């Protein structure tokens, strides 16, 4: 059963892609994917793994005769090509790929090789390593639609009709701000007959401050933003202002090249400011450890690798991590490239082991001013106290002399003293010390004398000291919660970076390397001085760079269409996928750069296209022919991201706190979930104020124990860069939506609003449906819901205790005017609505 389906799906795809059957085969489209996966491991870029000195990824090499005299590839002559012989032979010893590789070619694939050689065996440079070319498109057409239609036409497919306005309103709202549309907005949009109705709707969403939040979610995944250090004790570090920086960057439509510079080199920019420095927190988002017995060299190597992988993932779409131990197996990236890239970050001032520093203050101006006030007052008080101290010198001496000459008797030692033993002892000690020769008195002893004097004899100074301590306490209390951020600072004492043979940090025989751009991408780079992070960032966003724009466009495409134009989002290298519609990806990449790296422009282009507006309905034929919707003959439908599952429920319920930015928050989490954390042991404390209902992206991101409701819906732990979240459908998701207090409380709050609308069950359900699903309920839905409502109203009326228990879930106050039984029954109805597939799905 299963295998036959896989078979038919594979066939479906093969048919779709076999345009080669008519036209000439193309290396990048038809040959490289086969070679990369099957041949390059032994006959590719990695010199150390190369067998028989044969290299197939470079044409000149593949055309050279081997020692035996056999020629691997003879263009135009498959019969004389050793490669073809080896592919088709029945001799197991000669067969390629060999049995132990566990790789095989189908007969069809072998024929493709034969045909390609017959056609002249022409090579192409890897598609993503050459600059994108902007295809010419008719001025009148939407370029995206033009390029999609062009491809659909060649496949004999057609675009789907436009989705209805209600679906579009929901789709756009989810995709652009991550919240459901308000019913009245859907109505207005549906009623708007103007030609630019859609554009206006989009502009409103782009102007919403929630747009930045929505865009931040994916970005925080790739840069691996988290509130904790990651390894072992997984303690907190201050990075929240960076998240605010990301949200603001998208909201203010900061140019993407500028975003890049600030993150990699915000401290080195000529116009460096607090803002650019906070952006540079990017460099500090890696994993670090506080584990006792960790070896600095070990973690220095880990951190270097962490950073290189991140740059590879965020900007290059390259799996550079492979090169930590050896040259890349599939792409021309070398181990030298890896360590030279790492060397860019050798100037970052940081401790390799241990707790991260507190970071710089990132407070609003008024807080900063107030802090300065505190500090000024404190400095003033300190000075005054010091003066007072000096003034007291004379009286202190005089008092000492008086005690010695018996002019003064310490009250504890007076005949009628009622002082206790310890006080008497202390007084005796002071007298004894006073009797000592001045030069023999130790500083500690002097302190004992003075302490007595200031506490018992003349208390002016002591009172001043106490007041100062109190001021200091107040200042610290004010200072402590102010936002701080670990950022990048440069040091001139650079860490030495060596190529580590096989990635082994204990091996110090490798060559020392300086910062350098990857040779395979930066062909004509010649450095007249040592390169810096700023150079790296500038190179990444130069108009000549083949990857940066494509990588960003491809990720954004996934946000709006469910899958990238090149489906392997995190790898545009040889093992990634040549995009079926490369012209489209390349046009968008060029347009992005030409527009001045204008992100909102790019977003606007995508979401106002007819392609975006297509219906996501898929007929069986369509599903069978293009199961993954690679050709865009329809929109995609998918469950929304973890954060939005939460936001959606809170918005529907009316509980959502729309505040933007600030430190992370702690929504309800099952007690004891952190029981396996240590150093120190910790317990999560649920927020007990309006922070309880903040959006999901503000959830405290504990790397080793990510909030379980987030994790259940595939939010990544952000230990490594994640460009392509899983989109799973697992029982834990049902358990969260059914039982997590967040969703039960949201259901109760929603139920409260439903009941307050008044009317009969039909009217109430109609209102609820509009809030949650932006549509009217169908009659069979009403019947199903009413059956549940009636049954549960009946039950809860008989079992009021149970009703009271249910509606007590959560910290938001319960409306006393609503009967518990009614509220409980409607809470269950609301739970049903919040659990619906339609509620958590973007269609």
Partner 1 sequence: MNLSTLSMNRRLMLGRSAQGLGGIALASLLEPHLLRAANKDLWPGVITKRHVPPKAKRVIWLTMAGGPSHLETLDFKPKLAEMNGKPMPESMTKGKQIAQLQGNKLMCFGPQHGFKRFGKSGAEICELFPQIGSVVDDICIVRSMTSEAINHDPAHMFINTGSQIAGRPSMGSWLTYGLGTESTDLPGFVVLTSLGKGGQNQPIAARQWSSGFLPSRFQGVHMRGKGDPVLYLNSPAGITRERQKDVVDTVNVLNAKLDTLVGDPEIATRIAQYEMAFQMQASVPELMDITKESPSTLELYGCKPGDGSFASNCLLARRLAERGVRFIQLYHKDWDHHGGVKEGIKFKAEEIDRACMALITDLKQRGMFEDTLIVWAGEFGRTPMSQGGNGRDHHNAGFSIWLAGGGIKGGVSYGATDELGYSAVQDAMDVHDLHATMLHLLGIDHKQLTVKFQGLDMRLTGIAGKLVKGIIA
DSSP state of 842: E
Task: Pick out residues in 799-828 that bind partner 1 (CB under 8 A).
Answer: 801-809, 824, 828
- 744 in Cβ contact with 810 (< 8 Å): yes
Task: Pick out residues in 602-631 that bind partner 1 (CB under 8 A).
Answer: 617-620, 623, 627-628
Helix (H) or strand (E) run with residue 599 in it:
helix 599-607
- The minimum distance between CB 588 and partner 1, in angstroms, equals 22
Draw the binding track, 483-512, toward partner 1 (x: CB under 8 A; -: no contact): -----------------------x------
Residue with structure tokens 């970071």?
A: 359
The answer to the question of residue 173 lying near partner 1 (CB under 8 A) is no
- 348 in Cβ contact with 286 (< 8 Å): no
The answer to the question of residue 679 lying near partner 1 (CB under 8 A) is yes
Token pair for 512:
């020392």
Task: Pick out residues in 423-442 that bind partner 1 (CB under 8 A).
Answer: none
- The minimum distance between CB 789 and partner 1, in angstroms, equals 10
Token pair for 501:
């043979």
Q: Could you tell me which stretch among 127-135, 443-451, 531-539, 706-714 binds partner 1 (CB under 8 A)?
A: 706-714
The answer to the question of residue 720 lying near partner 1 (CB under 8 A) is yes
Task: Pick out residues in 95-154 that bind partner 1 (CB under 8 A).
Answer: 102
Task: Pick out residues in 531-570 that bind partner 1 (CB under 8 A).
Answer: 563, 567-568, 570
State the Cα–Cα distance between residues 68 and 716, nearest whole angstrom: 52
Backbone dihedral region for residue 69 (phi beyond 0: left; psi -120 to 50: alpha; all else: beta): left
Draw the binding track, 353-382, toward partner 1 (x: CB under 8 A; -: no contact): ------------------------------
The answer to the question of residue 739 lying near partner 1 (CB under 8 A) is yes
- The minimum distance between CB 227 and partner 1, in angstroms, equals 15
Minimum CB distance to partner 1 smaller for 234 or for 591: 234
Minimum CB distance to partner 1 smaller for 98 or for 411: 98
- The minimum distance between CB 763 and partner 1, in angstroms, equals 19
The answer to the question of residue 757 lying near partner 1 (CB under 8 A) is no
Q: Could you tell me which stretch among 112-120, 153-161, 526-534, 727-735 binds partner 1 (CB under 8 A)?
A: 727-735
Query: In the set 600, 695, 703, 764, which binds partner 1 (CB under 8 A)?
Result: 703
State the Cα–Cα distance between residues 491 and 817, nearest whole angstrom: 65
The answer to the question of residue 574 lying near partner 1 (CB under 8 A) is yes
Task: Pick out residues in 320-339 that bind partner 1 (CB under 8 A).
Answer: 321-322, 329-330
Helix (H) or strand (E) run with residue 743 in it:
helix 741-757
The answer for residues whose C-beta is within 8 angstroms of residue 2's C-beta and 6 or more apart is none
E strand segments, 445-562 = 484-485
State the Cα–Cα distance between residues 195 and 669, nearest whole angstrom: 47
Q: Could you tell me which stretch among 55-63, 72-80, 128-136, 314-322 binds partner 1 (CB under 8 A)?
A: 314-322
DSSP 152-218: HHHHT--PPPBPPHHHHHHHHHHHHTSSPPPHHHHHHHHH--STTHHHHHHHHHHHSTHHHHHHHHH
- 551 in Cβ contact with 588 (< 8 Å): no
Residues contacting partner 1: total by CB under 8 A? 113
Determine phi and psi for 507, rounding to 5 degrees.
Answer: -90, 110
Q: Could you tell me which stretch among 264-272, 363-371, 549-557, 711-719 binds partner 1 (CB under 8 A)?
A: 711-719
Query: In the set 254, 600, 831, 842, which binds partner 1 (CB under 8 A)?
Result: 831
State the Cα–Cα distance between residues 650 and 317, nearest whole angstrom: 35
DSSP state of 583: H
Kindly tell me the burial class for residue 372, based on how many C-beta atoms sit within 10 Å of its own C-beta (0-12, 13-18, 19 or more): exposed
Minimum CB distance to partner 1 smaller for 664 or for 839: 839
- The minimum distance between CB 820 and partner 1, in angstroms, equals 9
Cα Rg of the chain (Å, integer) = 35
The answer to the question of residue 781 lying near partner 1 (CB under 8 A) is yes
Minimum CB distance to partner 1 smaller for 384 or for 778: 778
The answer to the question of residue 775 lying near partner 1 (CB under 8 A) is no
Query: In the set 15, 153, 349, 729, which binds partner 1 (CB under 8 A)?
Result: 729
- The minimum distance between CB 831 and partner 1, in angstroms, equals 6
Residue 666: count other Cβ atoms within 10 Å of its Cβ.
18
**Is the torsion defined by CA of 814, 816, 818, 823 positive or negative?**
positive
Draw the binding track, 635-664, toward partner 1 (x: CB under 8 A; -: no contact): --x-x-------------------------
Q: At what angle do helices 548-561 and 582-594 cross, to 10 degrees?
A: 110
- The minimum distance between CB 222 and partner 1, in angstroms, equals 13
The answer to the question of residue 459 lying near partner 1 (CB under 8 A) is no
CB half-sphere exposure, 748, CA atoms < 13 A = 25
């Amino acid at each position: 059963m299963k295998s036959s389906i896989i078979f038919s799906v594979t066939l479906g795809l093969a048919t779709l892609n076999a345009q080669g059957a008519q036209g000439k085969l193309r290396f990048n489209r038809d040959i490289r994917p086969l070679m990369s996966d099957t041949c390059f491991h032994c006959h590719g870029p990695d010199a150390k793994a190369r067998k028989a000195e044969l290299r197939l990824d470079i044409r000149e090499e593949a055309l050279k005769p081997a020692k035996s005299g056999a020629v691997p590839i003879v263009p135009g002559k498959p019969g004389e090509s050793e490669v073809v012989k080896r592919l088709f032979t029945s001799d197991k010893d000669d067969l390629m790929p060999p049995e132990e590789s566990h790789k095989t070619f189908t007969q069809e694939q072998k024929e493709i090789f034969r045909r390609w050689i017959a056609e002249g065996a022409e090579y192409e440079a890897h598609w993503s390593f050459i600059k994108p070319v902007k295809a010419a498109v008719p001025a009148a057409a939407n370029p995206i639609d033009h390029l999609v239609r062009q491809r659909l036409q060649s496949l004999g497919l057609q675009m789907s009709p436009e989705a209805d306005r209600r679906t579009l309103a929901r789709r756009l709202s989810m995709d652009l701000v991550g919240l459901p549309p308000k019913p009245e907005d859907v109505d207005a949009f549906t009623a708007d007959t103007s030609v630019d109705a859609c554009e206006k709707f989009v502009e409103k969403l782009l102007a919403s401050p929630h747009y930045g939040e929505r865009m931040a979610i994916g970005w925080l995944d790739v840069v691996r933003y988290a509130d904790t250090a990651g390894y072992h004790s997984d303690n907190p570090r201050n990075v929240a202002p960076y998240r605010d920086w990301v949200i603001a960057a998208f909201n203010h439509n900061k140019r993407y090249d500028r975003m890049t510079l600030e993150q990699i080199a915000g401290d080195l920019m000529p116009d460096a400011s607090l803002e650019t420095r906070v952006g540079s927190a990017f460099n500090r988002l890696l994993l670090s450890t506080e584990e006792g017995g960790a070896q600095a060299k070990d973690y220095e190597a880990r951190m270097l690798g962490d950073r290189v992988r991140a740059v590879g993932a965020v900007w290059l779409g390259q799996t550079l991590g492979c090169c930590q131990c050896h040259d890349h197996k599939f792409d021309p990236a070398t181990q030298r490239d890896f360590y030279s890239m790492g060397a860019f970050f050798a100037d970052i001032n940081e401790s390799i082991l241990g707790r991260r520093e507190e970071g710089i203050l990132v407070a609003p101006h008024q807080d900063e001013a107030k802090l300065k006030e505190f500090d000024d007052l404190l400095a003033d008080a300190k000075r005054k106290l010091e003066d007072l101290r000096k003034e007291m010198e004379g009286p202190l001496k005089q008092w000492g002399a008086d005690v010695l000459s018996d002019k003064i008797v310490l009250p504890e030692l007076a005949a009628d003293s009622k002082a206790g033993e310890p006080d008497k002892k202390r007084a005796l000690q002071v007298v004894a010390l006073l009797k000592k020769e001045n030069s023999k008195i130790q500083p500690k002893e002097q302190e004992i004398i003075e302490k007595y004097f200031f506490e018992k004899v003349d208390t002016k100074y002591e009172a001043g000291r106490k007041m100062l301590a109190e001021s200091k306490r107040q200042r610290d209390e004010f200072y402590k919660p102010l936002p701080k951020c670990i950022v990048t600072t440069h040091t001139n004492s650079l860490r030495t970076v060596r190529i580590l043979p096989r990635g082994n940090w204990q091996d110090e025989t490798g060559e020392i390397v300086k910062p350098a751009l990857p040779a395979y991408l930066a062909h004509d780079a010649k450095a007249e001085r040592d390169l810096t992070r700023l150079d790296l960032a500038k190179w990444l966003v130069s108009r000549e760079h083949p990857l940066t724009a494509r990588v960003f466009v491809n990720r954004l495409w996934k946000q709006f269409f469910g899958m990238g134009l090149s489906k392997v989002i995190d790898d545009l290298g040889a093992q990634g996928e040549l995009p079926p519609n490369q012209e489209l990806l390349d046009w968008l990449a060029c347009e992005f750069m030409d527009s001045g790296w204008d992100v909102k422009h790019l977003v606007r282009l995508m979401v106002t296209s007819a392609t975006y507006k297509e219906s996501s309905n898929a007929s069986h034929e369509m599903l069978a022919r293009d199961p993954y919707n690679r050709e865009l003959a329809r929109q995609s439908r998918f469950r929304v991201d973890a954060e939005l599952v939460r936001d959606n429920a809170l918005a529907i319920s009316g509980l959502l706190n729309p505040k933007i930015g600030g430190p992370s928050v702690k929504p309800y989490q099952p007690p004891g979930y952190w029981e396996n954390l240590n150093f120190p042991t910790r317990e999560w404390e649920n927020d007990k104020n309006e922070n309880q209902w903040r959006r999901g992206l503000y959830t405290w991101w504990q790397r080793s124990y990510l909030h379980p409701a987030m994790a259940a819906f595939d939010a990544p732990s952000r230990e490594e860069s994640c460009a392509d979240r899983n989109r799973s459908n697992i029982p834990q998701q049902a358990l969260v939506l059914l039982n997590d207090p967040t969703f039960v409380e949201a259901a109760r709050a929603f139920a409260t609003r439903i009941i307050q609308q008044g009317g009969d069950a039909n009217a109430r359900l109609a209102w609820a449906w509009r809030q949650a699903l932006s549509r009217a309920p169908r009659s069979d839905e009403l019947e199903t819901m009413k059956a549940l409502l009636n049954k549960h109203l009946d039950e809860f009326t008989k079992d009021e205790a149970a009703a009271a228990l249910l509606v007590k879930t959560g910290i938001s106050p319960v409306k006393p005017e609503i009967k518990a039984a009614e509220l409980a029954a409607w809470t269950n109805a609301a739970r049903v609505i919040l659990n619906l597939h339609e509620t958590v799905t973007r269609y």
